[in-house]
Amino acid sequence: MYHFFISQDQVGEDHITILGPDVNHIKNVLRMGAGEEVLISNGIDKDYLCEIVSVTSKEVTARILSVEEGGKELPARITLFQGLPKSDKMELIIQKAVELGAYEIVPVETKRTVVKLDKKKEESKLRRWNAVSESAAKQSKRLIVPEVAGVMTLKEALAFAKDFDLIIIPYENAKGMERTREVLSFVKPGMNVGVFIGPEGGFEDSEIALTESFGAKTITLGKRILRTETAGLSVLSVLSFLLEP
């Protein structure tokens, strides 16, 4: 079933009006018509199972069949703070992080970050990255579209996460798995959790010290060294397993 996002002001008493680019997609790409069912999310707290009533060049009207509240989101908010990787790896990371339930993704510039984005390039990348997030949210039937925030320095990202309930940072010199299990056992529904992942080459020791000064807990992901595009997804997978009711 196809999945679309709307704002709450497009929801009526018994119908929903779809506007914007999705109209062209429904009408001319998917060639959908009256009688077909779609899933529509308000991006906040509700999924609507709907039946299309009419399709015009400007809007799609759908009748609400049923409503589900908050059924597909993780019960904790997990923000992935991702050190900027090279090439197009960020798109893969965003796509999979959204599928695994991340609430938000924050690109982070660190000392070993190779990619440097000026303002114009950053704006272009953010548009693309948020489009990737929306597509992944539709595919995975998310209730919300996780935002990809603007690029932050490590210090800015830590300040952003200072009031989180837990900050986790995989680090190759961290203690063994028993310590990791202990840290992850603290994650409970209702918490805000930050996961910090370094770029290629990882974090410098001084950066780890900085994160620890903000209360971050270092963990290990095993004896193998994971690539930057694998490490965050590994943590998200474990947290998803622990949190899913």
What backbone torsions phi and psi does residue 78 show, to the nearest 5 degrees?
-110, 120
Residue in 235, 232, 240 with CA at minimum distance from that of residue 89: 232
Instruction: Output the CA angle 124-125-131, nearest 5 degrees.
Output: 95
Domain total of the chain: 2
Burial class (CB in 10 A: 0-12, 13-18, 19+), 98: buried
Residue 244 Cα distances to 94, 180, 191, 236, 239, angstroms? 20, 19, 13, 12, 8
The residue among 17, 48, 69 that closes a domain is 69
Indicate if 89 and 47 belong to the same structural domain: no
Do 225 and 118 have their domain in common? yes
87/56 same-domain check: no
CA pair distance 232, 245, nearest whole angstrom: 22
pLDDT value at residue 218: 92
Residue 37: which domain range?
3-69
**Whole-prediction pTM:** 0.83
Counting every residue written for the chain, the total comes to 245
- How far apart (Å, rounded) are the C-alpha atoms in residues 45 and 42? 7
> What pLDDT shows up at residue 151?
95
Same domain, 115 and 209: yes
| CA–CA dist 75, 78 (Å, integer) | 9
* CB-based burial label for 176 (10 Å; 0-12, 13-18, 19+): exposed
Residue 201 and residue 129 share a domain: yes
From 14, 43, 69, give the residue that closes a domain: 69
**What are residue 229's phi and psi, to 5 degrees?**
-80, -10
Of 43, 44, 40, which Cα lies nearest the Cα of 15?
40
148 and 195 fall within a common domain: yes
Digitized pLDDT (tens) for each residue of the chain, 245 residues in all = 898 988 888 999 899 999 999 999 999 999 999 999 999 988 878 889 999 999 999 999 999 999 988 667 899 999 999 999 988 899 999 999 999 999 999 999 999 998 888 888 889 999 999 999 999 998 998 988 999 999 999 999 999 999 999 999 998 878 788 889 999 999 999 999 999 999 998 899 999 999 999 999 999 888 888 899 999 999 999 999 999 87
CATH of the domain at 100: 3.40.1280.10
Given this model, what pLDDT does residue 70 score? 67
- Residues 214, 169, single domain; the answer is yes
141-155 burial, b for 16+ CB within 10 Å, e for fewer? ebbbbbebbebbebe
pLDDT (tens digit per residue) in 74-97: 999 999 999 999 888 999 999 999
User: Are 114 and 183 part of one and the same domain?
Assistant: yes
Count CB atoms within 10 A of the CB of residue 223.
8
Instruction: Read off the CATH number of the domain in which 61 is found.
Output: 2.40.240.20
Examine the domain organization and report whether 234 and 203 are in the same domain: yes
Q: Which two tokens stand for residue 6?
A: 């709307």
